[in-house]
Amino acid sequence: MRRLLAAMALVLLPMAAQAATLYLAPTGNDQADGRTAQTPLATLAAAVARAQQAPAGEETRVIVLPGVYRGQSVDIDGRRLQGRLTIAGTASDPAAFPAFLGDGTSAWLHYRGAEGRDTGLTVQALRVARYATAISLNGNRNDPAAFNRGTVLENLVLAQIGSDAGTAKPSTAAIRLVNAKDTVVRGVFFHTIRNTPRDTCGGLHAIYLASHSTGARIEGNTFQDFCGSAIKLRDDSGGATIRANHFRDADGAPGIEEWFCDMDRTSECTKAGGECPSTGITVTGNDFGNLPADRRVLVRGSRVPRPWCPPGSAGAPRFLLDRGQTLP
């Protein structure tokens, strides 16, 4: 009987998820197996394609070996990714991070997922530079239930992010969240987040949370040399925690901004169903450097109740600040 019970217990134990490791190198080959550092792949797109072919529940870890990767970008289809995916360098020193260098156009990584589930995506220990947008996580902006959730972006360097003169549509974000919930952005160094020409620069943000991107944790990041709000929250993207960040060289821009685009008061809104305020955003322990007090945390937009917004959202505090203060 004891043996039978022991056998039954083993059957009932949860099975550990399988895991596969792929390697990426500037000198790699996408026809290689990618399973050792001696037989690496050349492009992140090839590694992600293999991850999307993995059996359900299999975790894929893409190890990005040191070096410079030029002109690469990747689209991840959340419907095809059935297991966790980690994309990571191995260095602890940011000066040694592998670098993805673009040409000032497109996004380096674009995740599309509107299935209302965790992405399983983690990106770590990389440098991404000279892209219009570094990372874009996109759910369905018009359906709060069609979200993606739980992406972790940590220990990254994002530099020279923005679009150049002549681009048809200026960039709006280094990291863009659209109905992307519970995203973690931690320990990221944002440097030179700028569009050219200068008159398009104010619309570019280091982190832009929009369309129900609730519950974000933005912690321990540094924002150096930016010309639009470093962190912008829009359209029901509340419940975020913004903690222990450093803001430097803001070029007159706010550190943190919440904007409710009220379609009854302005023609700037682009969402047919109407937007809503973002409320309950905790802002604590941040170092705003020499930013003027009125530019550290800024609220823009109406406080008039709108029938399409949650009850009470017009009057709820947008920000919960240190020492029990609220705004507004």
Pairing mode of beta strands 326-327, 319-320: antiparallel
For the chain, what are the domain ranges?
102-307+315-327
Return the HEC string of the chain: CHHHHHHHHHHHCCCCCCEEEEEECCCCCCCCCCCCCCCCECCHHHHHHHHCCCCCCCEEEEEECCCEEECCCEEEECCCCCCCEEEECCCCCHHHCCEEECCCCCEEEEEECCCCEECCEEEECCEEECCCEEEEEECCCCCCCCCEECCEEECCEEEEECCCCCCCCCCCEEEEEECEECCEEECCEEEEECCCCHHHHHHCEEEEEECCCCCCEEECCEEEEECCCCEEEECCCCCCEEECCEEECCCCCCCEEEEECCCCCCCCCCCCCCCCCCCCEEEECCECCCCCHHHCEEEEECCCCCCCCCCCCCCCCCEECHHHCEEC
pLDDT recorded at residue 165: 72
pLDDT recorded at residue 265: 87
Predicted confidence (pLDDT) per residue in 203-227, tens digit: 999 999 999 999 999 999 999 999 9
pLDDT recorded at residue 198: 83
pLDDT recorded at residue 7: 47
Residues of the chain with pLDDT under 70: 1-17, 166
CA pseudo-torsion sign 136, 314, 262, 228: negative
pTM greater than the 0.85 cutoff: yes
Residues whose CB is less than 8 angstroms from the CB of residue 61 and which lie 6 or more positions away in sequence, other chains included: 19, 20, 21, 22, 85, 86, 88
CA dihedral 260, 264, 267, 269 (to 10 degrees): 40
pLDDT recorded at residue 3: 53
pLDDT recorded at residue 13: 44
